Amino acid sequence: MTSDTATTDLDALIDSCVASKDSRKEDWDTLAFQAKAGEEFRRAQIRYIGSGATGNHESDSRILPSEHFTFSNMRLPVGGVGPEHTHHDVEEAFFVLEGELEVTVHDVEDGTRTASRVLGYRDLIRVPAGVPRSLRNVGDGEALFCVIIGAQKPQLPTYPATSPMHGVTRD
């Protein structure tokens, strides 16, 4: 392999690994079904690596393929809520970029028992697989945070009986 070929291969490699902010789009539709339970559940997903557990986005060529995890940003309007849900197969991490995000974990046996923490700029929480969790924007402005899920293609989350999404369908 010549030096020029090696440089070209490296350029192609690095270009295939970049997902720029300018090539992302805020997807307000993937989770729009949750607005059936109230407008406070409306939020945008901004996918970078993998399509996550929120739908079939494999045809979106802007998303970098996932090998071991998914990475997206979530935009949550003022007062917005990420409903109580459980990822049974994977851990999930939230890393705050803007705003204030209250993260609540719910008791597996009794979803009415909870513990909450407010996270701000550059704070992170990891929620283990099988633990119900919910989110709420408690700040004065929009919250923007990273969502990392520990699998190439996570199972769809479930919504416990204590969740406002319990019984809400995706169609």
DSSP string, 41-90: G--EEEEEES-TTSS--TT-TTSBPPSS-EEEEEEE-TT-EEEEEB-SS-
pTM: 0.90
- List of domains in the chain: 25-149 (2.60.120.10)
Mean pLDDT throughout 11-21?
93
pLDDT tier for residue 26 given thresholds of 50, 70 and 90: very high
Nearest to 94 by CA among 67, 108, 74: 74
Q: Is the pLDDT of residue 170 over 90?
A: no
104 pLDDT exceeds 80?
yes
**Residue 3's pLDDT is what?**
64
Q: Counting every residue, how long is the chain?
A: 171
**pLDDT at residue 2, as a whole number:** 63
Q: What is the mean pLDDT of residues 121-146?
A: 98
Instruction: Indicate whether 1 pLDDT > 60.
Output: no
| Residue 139, pLDDT above cutoff 90 | yes
Q: Which two three-digit tokens encode residue 78?
A: 């003022």
Most confident of 22-26, 130-134, 155-159: 130-134
Confidence of residue 10 (pLDDT cuts 50, 70, 90): very high
